[in-house]
Amino acid sequence: MPEDYKVQNQALKIGIVGCGGRMGQALVGVVLDHPKARLSGGTEQQDSLRVGQTIRHPVTGADSGLVIGANAEQLFENSDIVIDFTCPTATVMHSGFAAKHGTVHIAGTTGMTPEDEKALHHAAKTVPVVYAANFSLGVNLLFYLTRKAASLLDDEYDIEILEMHHRHKVDAPSGTALGLGQQAARGRGVDLGQVSDRVRDGITGERKRGDIGFAVLRGGNVAGEHSVSFNAPDERIILSHKAGDRAIFARGAVKAALWAVDRPAGLYDMFDVLGLPKE
Ligand code: NAD
Q: Give residue 141's pLDDT.
A: 95
The set of residues, in sequence order, having a beta carbon less than 8 Å from that of 176 and lying 6+ positions away, is 110, 133, 134, 139, 163, 224, 226
**Predicted pLDDT at 124:** 98
* Sheet of 266-268, strand order: 37-43, 12-17, 81-84, 104-107, 128-131, 266-268
pLDDT at 23: 96
Q: Is 157 in the pocket of ligand 1 (CB under 6 A)?
A: no
Q: How far is the CA of 261 from the centre of ligand 1 (A)?
A: 22
Whether the ω angle into residue 233 lies within 30 degrees of 0, i.e. cis, is no
pLDDT at 7: 63
Closest CA to ligand 1's atom 20: 44
pLDDT at 13: 97
Of 17, 74, 79, 87, which is best to mutate to test ligand 1, by the most ligand atoms within 8 angstroms of its C-beta? 87
Closest by CA to 214, choosing from 171, 181, 169, 253, is: 181
Give the integer Cα–Cα distance in Å for 232 and 49: 52
**pTM > 0.75:** yes
Q: Which domains does the chain have, with CATH numbers?
A: 12-131+246-274 (3.40.50.720), 137-243 (3.30.360.10)
- Tell me, what's the pLDDT at 6? 63
Instruction: Give catalytic residue positions.
Output: 165, 169
Indicate if ligand 1 lies below 6 Å from the C-beta of 176: no
Which residues touch 195 (CB under 8 Å, ≥6 apart)? 185, 208, 210, 211, 212
Q: Is the CB of 110 under 6 A from ligand 1?
A: yes
Tell me what pLDDT residue 3 has.
Answer: 56
Cβ-based neighbours of 273, under 8 Å, separated by 6 or more: 130, 252, 255, 256, 259, 260
Mind listing the pLDDT tens digit for each residue in 106-131?
999 999 999 999 999 999 999 999 99
Q: Which amino acid is at 57?
A: H
CB of 44 within 6 A of ligand 1: the answer is: yes
> Contact, 247 vs 26, CB < 8 A?
yes
CA of residue 153 to ligand 1 center, whole Å: 36
Q: Which residues of the chain have pLDDT under 70?
A: 1-8
Name the closest-CA residue to atom 39, ligand 1.
Answer: 134
Can you give the three-state secondary structure of 92-118, one letter per residue? HHHHHHHHHHCCEEEECCCCCCHHHHH
